[in-house]
Amino acid sequence: MKNKFTGLTSALILTLSMASSANAALIDRGNGMVYDSDQNLTWLQDSNYAVTSGYAAANAVDNGASAYDNILTNGRMGWDAATTWAANLNYGGYDDWRLPTVTDTDLNDNGCDWSYNGTDCGYNSSGSELAYMWRDVLGNTPYYDINANPQSGWGLTSTSADGVEILNLQPGLYWSGTEVSPTIDDAWFFGTNYGNQELISKQAEFYVWAVRSGDVAAVPGPGTLLLLLAGLAGIAAAKRRRC
């Protein structure tokens, strides 16, 4: 009985530890994947995996300046090549990787609703998975505040949160997987140096960071914890009766 009780106690401690970690914004799920619990997204821990995996070097394409399908050896790609890379990525047993999305808030102004205060285009953007990760999870500061004033400490100054390090985050421009409405010639990008989000022709060549919706680890919910606690209480009571 002692061994069984001790084993269940250890299981309870492990379960409580997992539930506690779920409250963190960034959680290391192992095998090169990190979970952003704020947005319910799993990111590749390596934000320039196209290079470190050897993909960029093995599939390098240079059809001249500003080509949709260019792939450069430093990991920068045209938008078509970038979305193809993410869609074909099979990592950690998952094949539903993609590029981060942007919520387009102004469909009537060529897609860009420029602002310094929480629209799709400009600084302090809202509705952007990558902008939120860079600013709210990693804690970086955009060049401008919401009143269009330059800020001190701006730029890519942090690549970690909650003890989890993002690898190879480049101080440059990253593609989103969202096309710009009403035209489909442009797509959204986010700048990890200045913290700006804007639109540009898909012919540009930017970095890529893969993400997928949801978590890759199942964390027990409150109901599971209550059942486990009730079971331990029953075992403890039975043990006291036998003593």
> For the chain (length 243 residues), average pLDDT per consecutive 10?
49 44 83 98 98 98 84 97 98 98 77 91 96 98 98 98 98 96 88 97 97 84 47 52 54
Of residues 89, 80, 115, the one with CA closest to residue 187: 80
DSSP-assigned letter for residue 165: E
User: Which residues share a beta bridge with 25?
Assistant: none
Find out whether 112 and 198 touch, Cβ atoms under 8 Å.
yes
**Which residues are CB-neighbours of 109 under 8 A, at least 6 positions away?**
none
pLDDT the model gives residue 148: 98
Contacts of 40 (CB under 8 A, 6+ apart): 213, 214, 215
- What pLDDT, on the 0 to 100 scale, is given for residue 106? 72
> Please, are residues 32 and 91 in contact by the beta-carbon 8 Å criterion?
yes
User: What's residue 110's pLDDT?
Assistant: 63
Instruction: Give the integer Cα–Cα distance in Å for 51 and 87.
Output: 16
Helix (H, G, I), strand (E, B) or coil at 225: helix
What local confidence, expressed as pLDDT, does residue 144 receive? 98
Strands 114-115 and 121-123 come out as parallel
Over the Cα atoms of the chain, what is R_g? 22
